[in-house]
């Protein structure tokens, strides 16, 4: 009943606002109504709920009442909803999480996400031939969007990977990470298998962690260390810089540092101008 009342209320508000017969309403009218709702500071989700109500109203008029009208609420009019990204891990949480890891294989998998920015699918599909220890880099083949890219091995990531490879069973399997027990022992570990290991250690350490969060933490740390946004885009394998800009939201650390660095320049210029005027 509450849902029905909400629908009726939204439809009534639109009909009163549009001030033309329902048969004459066009998508242009609906676009203007969206602007009106935006000016009232309604959220995209709330505005989309208004559009759903109006669309259903016109479907009812056409299908149930038999009116020969077109639905003015076309799909392209819906507002895109922001997709929240996971929060990056604090340094203290990273330490606690890593301390809970008991298996060399698991440590190596997680460090490739945390230090190299690999996606969980890229970790699962990593081959022995893609690792170049001499150059401290990994060739990620057919990443998202079928793109190849090079990522670099930090010292700690290289050490954990080497520690695992030393105990990895001798096998013809070229994928790096293997199942270690059960019916699938010796077979490549799946994406879901890696995710389950993260979930297990997240529970053990009482630190909320996901595979994507490890990659997001790597991007945030690079940004805070003043790495260029284009460099981060290349390392993460993003097609568009806008994706990286959204992915690497400024954290308080960098925002604070940028503010004080900029303010130092501003105050220095102001002091210079005041000094010049006094001399004159």
157-174 residue pLDDT tens: 999 999 999 999 999 999
Residue 132 CA neighbour count, 13 Å, CB half: 10
Measured between alpha carbons, how far is 152 from 107 in angstroms, rounded to an integer? 17
**Common-topology check for domains 2-77 and 91-249:** no
Question: Is 212 designated active site?
Answer: yes
Token reading at 121: 């699918």
Domain 91-249 has CATH 1.20.950.20: no
Residue of 158, 52, 55, 167 lying closest to 105 (CA atoms): 167
What totals of helices (H) and strands (E) does the chain contain, helices first?
12, 3
Annotated domain spans of the chain: 2-77, 91-249
Q: Domain 2-77 maps to which CATH number in 3.40.50, 1.10.20, 3.90.320, 1.10.150? A: 1.10.150
Which residue in 13, 62, 144, 168 is the catalytic one? 144
215 classed as catalytic = yes
Task: Provide the phi-psi class of 186: left if phi over 0, else alpha when psi is between -120 and 50, else beta.
Answer: left
Per-residue pLDDT tens over the stretch 36-83: 888 888 888 888 888 898 989 888 888 888 888 888 888 777 877 766
CB neighbour burial string for 86-95, b if at least 16 within 10 angstroms, e if fewer: eebbeeebbe
Secondary structure element (H or E) that encloses residue 157, with its range: helix 155-167
- What is the spatial order of strands in the sheet that 149-152 belongs to? 131-132, 137-140, 149-152
Q: Which residues pair with 150 in a beta bridge?
A: 139
pLDDT surpassing 70 at residue 240:
yes
**Looking at 33, 58, 164, 247, which residue is catalytic?**
247
200 catalytic? Reply is: no
Given the residues 10, 119, 197, 216, select the one marked as catalytic. Answer: 119
* pLDDT tens-digit map of 184-211: 999 999 999 999 999 999 999 999 999 9
Active site residue 280: no
Is 144 labeled as catalytic in the residue annotation? Answer: yes
- Strand positions, DSSP E, 127-229: 131-132, 137-140, 149-152
Give pTM, 2 decimals.
Answer: 0.65
Confidence band for 255, pLDDT divided at 50, 70 and 90: low
Question: So what's the pLDDT on residue 120?
Answer: 95
Active site residue 119: yes
């Amino acid at each position: 009943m509450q849902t029905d009342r909400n629908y009726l209320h939204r439809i009534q508000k639109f009909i009163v606002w549009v001030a033309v017969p329902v048969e004459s309403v066009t998508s242009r009218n609906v676009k203007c109504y969206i602007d009106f709702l935006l000016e009232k500071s309604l959220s995209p989700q709330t505005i989309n709920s208004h559009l759903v109500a109006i669309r259903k109203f016109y479907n009812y008029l056409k299908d149930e009442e038999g009116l020969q009208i077109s639905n003015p609420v076309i799909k392209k009019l819906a507002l895109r909803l922001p997709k929240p990204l996971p929060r990056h891990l604090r340094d203290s949480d990273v330490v606690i999480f890593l301390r809970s890891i008991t298996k060399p294989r698991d440590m190596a998998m997680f460090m490739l996400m945390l230090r190299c920015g690999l996606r969980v699918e890229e970790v699962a599909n990593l081959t022995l031939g893609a690792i170049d220890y001499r150059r401290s880099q990994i060739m990620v083949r057919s990443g998202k969007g079928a793109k190849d890219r090079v990522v670099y091995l930090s010292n700690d990531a290289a050490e954990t990977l080497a520690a695992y490879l030393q105990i990895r069973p001798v096998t013809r399997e070229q994928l790096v990470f293997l199942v270690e027990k059960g019916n699938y022992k010796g077979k490549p570990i799946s994406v879901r298998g890696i995710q389950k290991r993260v979930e297990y250690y997240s529970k053990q350490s009482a630190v909320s962690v996901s595979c994507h969060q490890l990659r997001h933490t790597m991007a945030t740390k690079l940004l805070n260390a003043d790495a260029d946004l284009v460099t981060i885009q290349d390392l993460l394998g993003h097609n568009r810089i806008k994706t990286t800009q959204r992915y690497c939201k400024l954290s308080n650390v960098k925002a604070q540092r940028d503010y004080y660095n900029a303010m130092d320049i501003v105050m220095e210029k102001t002091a210079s101008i005041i000094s010049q005027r006094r001399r004159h």
